[in-house]
Chains A and B, each alone.
Chain A
Amino acid sequence: MATSFHDIVEGLQEQIGRSFAVILGQVDSRQTERLWMSVGRFDVMHLPRTTVTEVVPPLYASSIMEWSSGVPEAKLNFDGTSLDQIGGLSLGGLRLMGVGQDLEFLAQIETGMELIQETTIEDVQLKTGKSGDLAVISIRRVFKNNGQDMLRCTETFIGR
């Protein structure tokens, strides 16, 4: 029997407060440069290399959807999203739309750093919108290096 939307939401609500830690790996200089480039900050690209390569784009860590090689295409949802979309959390196949982030920058993330991500579901609320039921999901991620909090990000999603 297929799991209903309400069952998925209830399952997520039961996970509120639980934390999951994932080793993300090393911040890669080529990837950070590509992020600068894709955003269009060419002016930053032309700054001295110590500035560009050591100072990672501020939204770098919190924008990356998948730090590993990911899963085979056959295991993706129809819309291309992954079943485990954030920090190894099982989101039950909900289709998520990001609606913003709240970021605290505690220390500068630099290329070459090893990052660990600690993810916690902070809140899940069932609401009814114009197009039907939806879940408002708040997920907190803390990016750490050598035990130090570097970046704290609370992101809100609409799940359907």
Chain B
Amino acid sequence: MDDETIKVHGLKSGDVIGPYEWHPTTIQLFRFSAVTWNAHRIHYDQAYAREEGYADVLVQSHLHGCFLAHSVLAWAGPDARLIRFRWENRHFAVPGDVLTVTGSVTLVDGNQVTCELQEVNQEGRLCAPAWATLELPSSGRGGVG
């Protein structure tokens, strides 16, 4: 990373990302299951979810990933492009939870920015950490937060 990079993008290691709030609902889970053709009952059948020991239907693993990916893309702006993205599901979430994504820049290398992210619920419990590398346009970040 050189000084010129920092000037071009105005970004440096430690810069804060977010917060971005997500409010999963039963309708959202149903629609996400429908569009991904995920018929697992744990995502739309509350009685079944309770049989499995959960209070409600569960947010899909991939929807957690989408919350994280779209948070960092919202921060980076519409012309940014993901190069690498990884997330891990650590704790379940249910409709009604408030999932907050925050993060920070860990590396700026040319027009590539690497970030680490966390999705936590309203109790502060980590639901999913993530790591992203993005390619920014030469004009820099055009995000909203």
Q: Are the CB atoms of B35 and A103 closer together than 8 Å?
A: no
Residues of A within 8 A of B128 (CB): 100
Q: Are the CB atoms of B82 and A58 closer together than 8 Å?
A: yes
Residues of B within 8 A of A3 (CB): none
Chain A residues bordering chain B, tally (CB within 8 A): 37
* Complexed CA–CA distance, A18 and B85 (Å): 25
* Complexed CA–CA distance, A101 and B69 (Å): 12
Q: Which residues B43-67 have CB closer than 8 A to chain A?
A: 45, 48, 60-63, 65-67
B30 to chain A, nearest CB (A): 9
Q: Are the CB atoms of A105 and B37 closer together than 8 Å?
A: no
Given A62-B62, A99-B88, A100-B89, also A41-B70 (CB < 8 A):
yes
Given A80-B41, A99-B61, A100-B65, also A35-B85 (CB < 8 A):
no
User: Which residue, A34, A51, A80, A108, has most C-beta atoms of chain B within 10 A?
Assistant: A80
Q: Are the CB atoms of A99 and B85 closer together than 8 Å?
A: no
Contact flags B24-47 to A (C-beta < 8 A → 1, else 0): 000010011011111111100100
Interface size class of B (residues with CB under 8 A): 35 or more
Q: Are the CB atoms of A59 and B66 closer together than 8 Å?
A: yes
* Complexed CA–CA distance, A96 and B28 (Å): 22
**How many A-B contacts are there with CB distance less than 8 Å?**
103
Q: Are the CB atoms of A58 and B73 closer together than 8 Å?
A: yes
Interface of A is mostly: mixed
* Complexed CA–CA distance, A59 and B144 (Å): 21
Given A43-B144, A79-B42, A81-B39, also A97-B61 (CB < 8 A):
yes
Q: Is A91 an interface residue (CB 8 A)?
A: no
Q: Is B8 an interface residue (CB 8 A)?
A: no
* Complexed CA–CA distance, A51 and B73 (Å): 13
Name the residue of chain B whose CB is nearest to the CB of A96. B40
A-B CB proximity, top 6 nearest: A98-B61, A63-B62, A100-B88, A38-B31, A80-B39, A66-B37
Q: Which of B's residues lie within 8 Å of A, judged by CB?
A: 22, 28, 31-32, 34-42, 45, 48, 60-63, 65-67, 69-70, 73-74, 78, 81-89, 128, 144
Q: Which of A's residues lie within 8 Å of B, judged by CB?
A: 31, 34-35, 37-41, 43-44, 47, 51, 57-59, 62-67, 70, 76, 79-82, 97-105, 108
Provide a sorted-by-A list of 22 A–B residue pairs whose CB atoms are within 8 angstroms: A34-B31, A40-B28, A41-B70, A41-B74, A57-B66, A57-B70, A59-B62, A59-B66, A64-B36, A65-B36, A65-B37, A70-B37, A80-B40, A80-B45, A98-B62, A99-B88, A100-B87, A100-B88, A101-B86, A105-B81, A105-B82, A105-B85
